[in-house]
Structure 1
Amino acid sequence: MGGRHTQLKGWRGYRERVEILAFVIGVALMVVGLAVSIALHELGHLWPAKKFGVRVGQYMIGFGPTLWSKRWRGTEYGFKAIPLGGYISMAGMYPPSPQAARRDGRAAGGFFATMVQDARDANDETLHGDDDTHVFYRLPIHKRIVVMLGGPLMNFFFAIVLFSILLTGIGVQTATTEVARLSECVPTTSSTECTDASPAAPAEAAGIQPGDVIVSIDGEPVADFAAASAIIRSSPGEQLTFVVERDGSEQTLQVTPATIQTEVTAADGTTTTQEVGFVGIGPSVEYVQQPIWAGPQMAVQNVGAVAGIIWQLPAKVWQTGVDLVTGQPRDPNGPLSIVGASRLSGEVAAADSPVLNRVAGFLSLLASLNIALFVFNLIPLLPLDGGHIAVALWEGIKRLWAKLFRRPPPKPVDATKLVPLTFAVFVALLVMGGILILADLFNPVTLF
């Protein structure tokens, strides 16, 4: 007895170690997936910028100290220690500083004026004189928009690829018409356990066997288990004719669904008790590959869902902070930090399920993360890509207005004046990110 107990204890310890290792691998995979997503995002900026002749000084993945870098064709490519972001440095993101500002050196006027001048000084260092043509701010409006839109679009296209692999390559788990198991009895409102007094389940009593494939019910062909279940649930107490395929031949069986009570939740959230039919069959589940357009459709649907979260982001982060302080369960559909996404990836990797299920779960998480990067970066506020797009559009409107009224072309928009707003947005994002990280550490959303 003692030896068996020791064996069981050793087996449990082994399984715990395997689960921990799988969890760590899942987290590492999400970090790598995030790094790839960031690399693609920055590549989406880099390629059109170079194509349009803009000088790009650096292409970096991560922040902090540089781990590795190599200069190639005028651009330094490298990796930094903290893989939580990335950037490219383009020459002349803004017009040169006004001559007065150059003469005066550091601007007077306090903290924000100093920030504006610091931004101008840093920008001026990337310019090779006022006649430099290989700079971002001299690009036509549409080319500037293409450069800034390239990053988010790369995340969107990457999400389409991931969703396509998930839905078309692997498929969607679907309950089929093949019977996998039978219930022994009819459940009651008070108990789901079978006793000697429990009535036998109609399917078993009618002679249905595991492995049977349901062809039709009452003359109506059924393509999947959902169709069969709909007919059964709507026919309590009514005899139904089942045609099943068994060992290559069709058999006809008479099945009368038992009547059970079940709770049904309506679209408005109200719950009612209804009588439905029950025969006691459990379907087999298999991956069913979806059409090639299913991946793009899923990506578009996710854009709408994420946009709904982003639109309410401050309120949702506030509620997440309240739930963290009060210990209340978090909204499972609320925002997550990269810590939360990595934790979910670890849970998927450590789940007691087939490997294909875990791969599908990871692909779904990474694709959703890229949709979030796509939507978030389109917010029309600096320092996000959407902010630079908004600046370019504003300059385009000013130029169009001048052209319509035959006025001289306006000067390029000096976005360095928006540095105080950019700083406020950065601080807000930092605070919200900090709250989400703390919540993901101490009040996490879990899958299981």
Structure 2
Amino acid sequence: MEGLIMAAQLLLGLSILVGLHELGHLLTAKMFGMRVEQYYIGFPPKIFGFRYGETEYNLGAIPLGGFVKITGMIDESLDTKKLSEEPKPWEFRSKPAWQRLIVMMGGIIVNVVTGIIIFIFLTYKYGDTYIPRDEVLENGIVAYDLGQEIGLQTGDKILKVNGEEYVKFSDLTSANVLLADDAYYTVERNGQTLDIPVPTGFLDKFSDKEAARNFIQVRMPFEVGELVEGGNAEKAGLRVGDKVLSVDGKPIAFFHELRDVLAEKKNTTVMIEVYRSDNSAIENQVAEPVTLQVDVNENGNIGFYQKPQIALGRTEYTLAESIPQGTSDAFNIIWVNVRAIGKIFKGEVSASKSLSGPIGIAQIFGGEWDWVRFWRITGLLSMVLAFMNFLPIPALDGGHVAFLSYEMISGRKPSDKFLEGAQKVGMVLLLGLMTFAIFNDIFKAFF
């Protein structure tokens, strides 16, 4: 079922983005009087379609892209039959270079605008809830395997990242931090201040979807939250609001300590000491701890959800504030991609671990349908799609933009034969990249 939900979210997200991208080309082409023969979401074979005016609108069975066919344009269809004839007034090739440039930029512009609108809406609607830096300094971190690998330790209090103070915990694991040159954390450990460098290529470790939770987390003081109905904790008499003090005599202050102890006590019975603020009926009497005998199941659980005892930060945005913030968040995605590609070319980041195809993107959406998460990822993909399409690779919009820019600057138009050859080379490159991405996804998923 999770696989179906992942696939459904991927198909819906890509259909929206590809449909809007191609609509950008269609509308700008029609604006300049160009004839648009076909508009496709997906690739043939056709599932269904209809004709409106001069244009046939279709939904294709292969949901990995889309296209518009503009009369007189050398595109992925490689339909060059009419190029030997004199250009007609409604053809792409008969229009001024600046108009053709706007048409080729139309899809990219629409994707950028779409991404910005999505992030503005999410910012305005949901604001930002986060773990503040003060809580990190108060409680310290839990260092899991990846954190320990670079030298972090549980209990460290991270003071700065790359020499700068941060605002929220998520800043510590942002792509901007991990992509920085000579990145490092400044921590307080046992009264000493230390710099912990982030090794070159460490971002490769985050190619696994479980990597982020295997890096660092804030140590969480907690109390007992919701009880699992009929679970061992409920049967033993644990109550909502209880604060766990110890397990079999081992002191417990944070949730990860409880989890680690219970993992060692699978299929056994433990003595859990809790503080219960209402366990005394005598006014002004100091409450005594309550000791309960609780069975631990085979998964190391006893049947309750933690209620973290930390003060979360919350930022609300007005619509006026959401516009610059959402726009900044959207363009930051492009900046991260630029830096990531630079790292790949430098050999500091592995292409095989950084690039994802349809399977990897579907896994990012996740196996549960969460509309906030769906739109956040769709907004991210919209900006990535705009960036990737702007790359000066033949067969991408950016390839056409490069040739048109050359034409406008030099005053000389590349020959149709050259453009046809460049289109073929670009298609081979793109098909090779897509094949690599798909097989890379399969390899990462199963090996």
TM-score normalised according to structure 2 size: 0.58
1:302 to 313, 329, 333: 333
Which one of 344, 353, 375 corresponds to residue 364 of structure 2?
A: 344
Q: Which amino acid aligns with 1:377?
A: N
* Whole-angstrom distance in 1 between the partners of 2:157 and 2:339: 30
Q: Is this contact kept in 2: 1:55–1:90, CA < 8 A?
A: yes
- Shift of the 311–132 alpha-carbon distance from structure 1 to 2, 3 Å rule, reads farther
Partner residue of 1:39?
Answer: 19
Q: Displacement of 1:22 after TM fit?
A: 4.7
Aligned in 2, Cα 1:36/1:94: closer, same or farther, shift over 3 Å? closer
What are the equivalent positions in structure 2 for 1:63-74 lying under 5 Å apart? 63-74=43-54
Q: Report the equivalent of 1:374.
A: 386
Contact 2:25 2:106 in 1 (8 A): yes
Measured on the aligned residues, the alpha-carbon RMSD in Å equals: 3.5
- For 2:348 and 2:52, the matched residues in 1 are separated by 42
> Which of 377, 400, 411 lines up with 1:388 in the alignment?
400
Q: Using the alignment, how far apart are the partners of 2:372 and 2:118 within structure 1?
A: 10
Partner of 1:199: none
- Find out whether 1:169 has 2:90 as its counterpart: no
Task: State whether residues 171 and 288 of structure 1, in contact with CA within 8 Å, keep that contact through their aligned partners in structure 2.
Answer: yes
Q: Could you list the runs of 4 or more consecutive aligned residues of structure 1 that deviate by over 6 angstroms after TM superposition?
A: 276-279, 314-318
Q: Report the counterpart of residue 420 of structure 2 in structure 1.
A: 419
Cα offset for 1:441? 2.4
Q: CA deviation at 1:23?
A: 4.7
Q: 1:360 to 1:174 in 2, by over 3 A?
A: same
Q: Provide the residue aligned with 1:125 in structure 2.
A: 82
Name the CA shift for 1:51/1:279 in 2 (closer, same or farther; >3 Å): closer
User: Is the partner of 2:156 in helix, strand or coil?
Assistant: strand
1:226 and 2:113 are equivalent in the alignment: no
Deviation at 1:342, TM superposition (A): 0.8
The one-letter code matched in structure 2 to 1:392 is L
1:315 and 1:136 map into 2 onto residues whose CA distance is 39
Aligned to 1:438, the other structure's residue is in SS state helix
Query: Which of the pair has more CA radius of gyration?
Result: 1
Q: Which residue is equivalent to 1:289?
A: 316
Kept in 2, the 8 Å contact 1:261–1:276? The answer is no
Contact 1:320/1:436 (8 A) holds in 2: no
Counterpart amino acid of residue 443 in structure 1: K
Q: Which amino acid aligns with 2:333?
A: N
Match of 2:64 among 80, 84, 96: 84
Residues 327-366 of structure 1 correspond to what in structure 2 (within 5 A)? 330=353, 334-347=354-367, 349=368, 358-366=370-378
Q: For the Cα contact (< 8 Å) 2:26–2:36, is it kept in 1?
A: yes
**In the TM superposition, what is the alpha-carbon distance from 1:167 to its structure 2 partner?**
1.9
* Separation (CA, whole Å) in 1 of partners of 2:25 and 2:348: 29
Structure 1: gaps (5+ residues):
1-20, 96-114, 176-224, 235-259, 322-329, 351-357, 400-409
Question: Taking structure 1 as the reference length, what is the TM-score of the superposition?
Answer: 0.58
How many Å apart are 1:263 and its aligned residue? 6.1
Residue number in structure 1 paired with 2:146: none
CA apart distance, 1:367:
1.4
Displacement, 1:414?
1.9
Change (3 A) 1:340 1:79: same
Map of 1:262 onto structure 2 = 156
Identify unmatched segments of 5+ residues in structure 2. 141-153, 163-182, 193-218, 223-308
